[in-house]
Amino acid sequence: MNAVLTLIAAPASPLDDDVAHAARAALEGLGAEVARPDWLAPAAACDLAFSGLAPEQADAAVRRALGATPVDVVAQGLENRRKRLLVADMESTIIRQEMLDELGDFVGMKERIAAITARAMNGEVDFKGALRERVALLKGLPVGVLDEVWRRAELMPGAKALVATMRANGAYCVLVSGGFRCFTGRVRSWVGFDEDQGNDLEVADGALTGRPTEPILDRDSKLQALVGYAAARHVPMAGTLAVGDGANDLPMLLAAGLGVAYHAKPSVAAEARARVDHGDLTALLYAQGYRSADIVEA
């Protein structure tokens, strides 16, 4: 067997043998040789090793067979399955919030800023221009508000387990965000990432000036970070994992050995080679073949 398809349940919808058998039948229906289900976690995740079929064909066949069943499907080659580098987006990926939208709440413009954010994350407008436009609306906001907004941050389920488990198995984990370093540094410490990158907000006389510090970290910067960290740590691209939800994440998702669109915007989910629509961030561990007993609960 040279490939594997992983089925991962939504937290509130246990995975059962019927789903695994339906997925296996779909693969066999296309002429693949398929192993018996290997349960990585009871009722939560199982592997179907297979050969004789391209991963993208396997993915499409199983998704079609399962229809609306709330199960995530990740098909990939078995070689380099365990990744040695993780590059993760922050907002709506590692934390639930878009922090710039939350800052907008303090100037009565949350809905306006959130609408621009949504368009930028779906790739409808230029990311740099959208960032400058949103930050301009915050001009004059006291810098102390950044601490107030931080208290709203919530981790995505599975975030700590993802990073702790990968680091315990020798991977290097980096947070790379188009958001701001006043938040990425705190999330790095909270979750346990090795490094973080982000943008900076310009401050003068204790208030935001309404300008981000140039140059702005954007989609190209995220791709460069993935490639740069892989080169610096002598990790082949096949050994990298990237995860994000927005259009500015897409280049790094397409370049990584495993690039996962996580509860992503429609345009991103449509183009990414792997996606998680139902599960939490432990889905990325199951996709790498980790078993429930391997997961480090940080």
- Per-run averaged pLDDT (10 residues), the chain, 298 residues: 96 93 97 97 97 97 96 97 98 96 91 92 90 94 95 97 98 97 98 98 96 95 98 98 97 98 95 96 98 92
For the chain, which residues make up each domain, given as ranges?
1-79
How much is the pLDDT for 113?
92
pLDDT of residue 84: 98
pLDDT score, position 51? 97
In angstroms, the CA 51 to CA 113 distance is 48
Nearest-angstrom CA–CA distance, 112 and 237: 39
- 88 and 175 Cβ atoms separated by less than 8 Å: yes
**What's the one-letter identity of residue 133?**
E
- Per-residue pLDDT at 125: 87
Phi then psi dihedrals of residue 38, to 5 deg: -115, 110
Q: Which residues pair with 46 in a beta bridge?
A: 7, 39
What pLDDT, on a 0 to 100 scale, did the predictor assign at position 66?
97
The tokens describing 97, both together, are: 């919030």
**For tokens 């907008």, what's the residue?**
104
Please give the structure tokens belonging to residue 90.
Answer: 């922050």
> In the 8-state DSSP scheme, what is residue 216?
P
Distances (CA, A) of 191 to 170, 185, 274: 16, 10, 24
What CA–CA distance (Å, rounded) separates 212 from 224?
20
Angle at 147 between CA 91 and CA 95, to 5 degrees: 20
Q: 49: which DSSP letter?
A: E
Architecture of 1-79 per CATH?
A: 2-Layer Sandwich (3.30)
Residue type, 73: V
**Coil, strand or helix: which one is 242?**
strand
pLDDT at 122: 86
CA 219 to CA 236: how far, in whole Å? 21
d(CA 198, CA 146): 15
Cα–Cα distances (Å) from 239 to 70, 144, 255, in that order, read 28, 41, 11
